[in-house]
Amino acid sequence: MSEAAVKTTARKSRPKYLNLQALLFEIRLPLPGWVSILHRISGAMLFLALVWLLWMLDRSLASEAGFGKIKHYAGLWPVKLSLLVLVWAYCHHFCAGIRYLFLDLDKGVDLENARLSSWIVLAASLALTVFLGWKLW
């Protein structure tokens, strides 16, 4: 076989597009990358949930009966679980945002400090979520 034929065969065996399974399980993303992706996801979740949270606030402030309905609605376990996810999103977005402010000031940009600050962000956001979730339930 010629060298050009071998190169063509090698190119055809490579995948053309990456699928979700490859992105999640085959490509090894470093921890600061995961914190960055979670920061974006949590920001999008908070933005999208804003309508729902404002609706609940509007209903609860409209009348005493509306407050009672929202109090009952917020006591349902799917709503509590959704609120817990939003609490995590807020805590993670807040902690990661502080990390990115320090990175903008060129503090902790080397590899060791970036990994350490990523672990701190994850631990702090989960600890805050557990604490606030305990208050929620």
CA–CA separation, 58 and 61 (whole Å): 5
Segment 59-88 mean pLDDT: 94
pLDDT per residue as tens digits for the range 4-61: 555 555 556 665 566 777 766 777 788 999 999 999 999 999 999 999 999 999 999 9
Domains (range + CATH), the chain: 29-136 (1.20.1300.10)
For residue 11, the one-letter residue type is: R
> What residue ranges in the chain does DSSP mark as E strands?
none
Q: Over pLDDT 90: what percentage of the chain? A: 69
> Would the CA dihedral through 37, 39, 41, 44 be positive or negative?
negative
Q: Contact, 96 vs 104, CB < 8 A?
A: no
pLDDT attached to residue 72:
95
pLDDT attached to residue 45:
96
